Structure 1
Amino acid sequence: MNTNIPISVIVCAKNEAENLRSFIPSILDQNYPDFEIVIINDASSDDTEQVIEEFQKIDKRIKCVKVENNEAFWGNKKYALTLGIKKAKNTHLLFTDADCAPQSKNWISHMANGFQPGIQMVLGYGGYFQDTSSFLNKLIRYETLLTAIQYFSYAKLGSPYMGVGRNLAYTSRLFYEIRGFANHLHLRSGDDDLFVNEAGTSGNTTCVYDSEAITRSIPKKNFKEWYNQKRRHVSVAGHYQVKHKLLLSLFYIARICFWLFFMLMLILQIFPILVLSVLGLKLILEGIVYFKAAQKLKEEDLVWFFPIFDLFLISMQMAIFISNLSSKPKHWK
């Protein structure tokens, strides 16, 4: 495992005092010989600055970047991240959120090991903490798992199209080569997926999905908050490369057509045994894929519910598409 690369862990925080208190210790406790933590205080109005100062007193590896709001970049996370990247002393950068916790002490080691010769971007898995009593929690985690299966698969096939800022690494060299977030700075969201969509190639991107390389964060507690979050993500996806928009659209259309066709054939009683057999085969094949992915990413409890979640997500994505046609969602806090 490559432990010779100095790493700068970058955490952007806006009114995250309590989360920083809870989760920064899990980063400081990493088994990695050479890393710093750059915490960006993005114009917080709570005790975020005080909490960062407390950590700085006990650990010299903590750096603070204080961001003041200005007219040109009001509330823009990309502006805050750019300042954090400029502050970092190391060229290899590892990003996570203030409400995220690495799930092992070897998180940095595994993500750093992805930086093999020629590799400038490493995609990791950022999951959510489990709440076995909550249907919404399972739904959020299933959608996250499905998205991870897609972006890992595309990257493995040589066409990376997105990553998640909860667990993403790249070099400052790559950042400056494509002029950072300049091409989509006018969009409040997309600091992770739009950056990967623009900068990722078959030759410079790899995936790390070892169970020790996972981070987990706090999911939304109610459906409205999560729905609005997904609206923001979908609105950004409209700025992906054309080939990615086409392939992702075809995937969604194929899912809708399958279920509509299945229901229509059952209602009309046309070859019901054949129709049910096709459904059974589809569920078995998908179940195998989901089970293997869930094993790797420690989400095994989700596999048994995937047909229900799949139908729910299809309906929700249609509602989001219609909502985004009439109004644009709000962005970074």
Structure 2
Amino acid sequence: MAIQGLDSLWQDGYPVYHARFFHRPPRVVTLFFVVAFLIQCLYAGILVVGLRRAGQQDPVPEGVNPDDLPSLSIVVAAHNEADTIPPLLRALASQTHPNLDIILVNDASTDETGRILTDWADDHASARVIERRGSAAPNKKKAIAEGVAAARHDIIAQTDADCVPPTVWSERLAASHAQCDRPVLLIGYSPVEPETGLLNRWSRYETWQTGAFTAAAAAIGHPYMAVGRNLSAAKQVYLDVDNDIAGDDLLSGDDDLFVQAARRTGSATIRPLVDPSTFVPTRGADSWLSWLQQKRRHVSAGRAYAPSTAAVLTLYHSSHVLLWLAPILLGSLGVGLLAARLLFHSLVIGEATRTLGEDDLAAFFPIGEVLTALYHVLVVPFGLMSPPDTWKS
């Protein structure tokens, strides 16, 4: 015998709330998820169009005499990189550009980084070491700023201590600058070196995904980010936008803010580089904790993004996460929307991975999409609400 008042809460063996919402959701809820699906399709289309345009406008010329290239300064900031920086130094010593000015900024390192840099610079006439000491805490943005200020040449390239630029990297960057009539900002790609394990595969996938959208957005005239592992601009661009960059308290992401400021002020023509000869590989994190700390630092820069940029990114990622919830809230219709989204993106990802030389990542697509959704639910809010207070340990 049913308890009076409770029998009305059940219908056809299901709770009324479940029956009405999960099996027969209100039309407005269904429409909400359909709009999320359409947003995902729109962004996928923008990705394809942008990457194709990036390939067409890639300004890296072939067959240029190195002696005819403009001189170039390379700036690297390093903090406690004694274990990782030797491969970079070997790569810098092998650059084919004939007239380089290499500035190595030792940002208050407490290990052997300073000695390694000094010993290497003593053996290479084109290299100099700048020491950042004093009471100030290590800060990558300020270290880069000091390196830029000390640069002798009008064109600057940035990379990181854990990267290995190809031998023609600086030559190709200089050639790209040489063919532009006005100051240019070049946004390069920096893939994670392939290794075994889920962490490496996921790190490569997330880096590729970010790089693909970065290149596509720049190609269609809406650049919003870059990575300091592979970035180049005229020195005047750095000086012009320096006072226009927000977030002096941020420990990472100043490359994104630099690009956004350059676009806002019109200080430079901003172009992506998708030529494989310009890609600068980097080592991936060696543990999940290290990866989390790195991402927390990178994500924290989002607090200083322009509202319009933050809104566009939020729209994409929130609609992506919503579609993973659709099967729970919409039943079979939700399953269909999610399946259609995955199918549509699977057609896009093949071309997108080939463009950036990451063909093998196409097979990681299903797992990568699940991890991407979890990343934006768990890691991104953590980085935005609880930014780190140190660059590196």
Quick one: distance in 2 between partners of 1:43 and 1:87? 17
Is the contact between residue 114 and residue 206 of structure 1 (CA under 8 Å) also seen in structure 2? no
Q: Which has the larger radius of gyration?
A: 2
Indicate the RMSD between aligned Cα atoms, in angstroms. 2.1
Structure 1 range deviating more: 323-332 or 145-154: 323-332
Distance 1:86 1:324, change over 3 A: closer
Please name the residue that 1:113 is paired with: 175
Amino acid at match of 1:250: L
Find the residue that maps to 1:200 and give its secondary structure.
helix
Please name the residue that 1:7 is paired with: 72
Distance 1:282 1:326, change over 3 A: closer
Q: CA deviation at 1:287?
A: 2.5
Tell me if 1:93 matches 2:156: yes
Is the contact between residue 189 and residue 331 of structure 1 (CA under 8 Å) also seen in structure 2? no
Tell me if 1:52 matches 2:99: no
Distance 1:41 1:216, change over 3 A: same
Amino acid at match of 1:52: L
**What are the within-5 Å matches in structure 2 for residues 140-289 of structure 1?**
140-179=203-242, 183-200=246-263, 204-265=269-330, 268-270=331-333, 275=336, 279-289=338-348
Comparing both chains, which one has the higher relative contact order based on Cα–Cα distances under 8 Å and sequence gaps of 6 or more? 2
- In terms of fraction of residues, the more helix-rich structure is 2
* Equivalent position to 1:294, from 345, 353, 359: 353
Q: CA deviation at 1:182?
A: 5.5
Structure 1 range deviating more: 87-96 or 307-316: 307-316
Identity %: 28
Is the contact between residue 154 and residue 234 of structure 2 (CA under 8 Å) also seen in structure 1? yes
Residues 22-81 of structure 1: per-residue CA shift (max 9 Å, x gap): 2211122122122121111111111222212222232101111111133xx422222211
User: Which structure 1 residue ranges, 5 or more long, are not aligned?
Assistant: none
Amino acid at match of 1:313: T
Is the contact between residue 188 and residue 272 of structure 2 (CA under 8 Å) also seen in structure 1? yes
Find the residue that maps to 1:205 and give its secondary structure.
strand
Distance 1:282 1:321, change over 3 A: closer
Give TM-score, length-normalised by structure 2: 0.77
Quick one: distance in 2 between partners of 1:295 and 1:256? 26
Quick one: distance in 2 between partners of 1:130 and 1:331? 28
Quick one: distance in 1 between partners of 2:119 and 2:306? 43
Aligned residues: 323
Is the contact between residue 241 and residue 258 of structure 2 (CA under 8 Å) also seen in structure 1? no
Is the contact between residue 108 and residue 131 of structure 2 (CA under 8 Å) also seen in structure 1? yes
Q: CA deviation at 1:20?
A: 2.3
Give TM-score, length-normalised by structure 1: 0.90
Please name the residue that 2:31 is paired with: none
Q: CA deviation at 1:17?
A: 2.1
Structure 1 range deviating more: 28-37 or 206-215: 28-37
Amino acid at match of 1:122: L
Is the contact between residue 73 and residue 102 of structure 2 (CA under 8 Å) also seen in structure 1? yes
User: Which structure 2 residue ranges, 5 or more long, are not aligned?
Assistant: 1-60
Residues 262-317 of structure 1: per-residue CA shift (max 9 Å, x gap): 4544xx34597xx1xx5555334323332223223222221111121111121122
Tell me if 1:124 matches 2:124: no
Is the contact between residue 181 and residue 191 of structure 1 (CA under 8 Å) also seen in structure 2? no
Quick one: distance in 2 between partners of 1:332 and 1:21? 20
Find the residue that maps to 2:224 and give its secondary structure.
coil
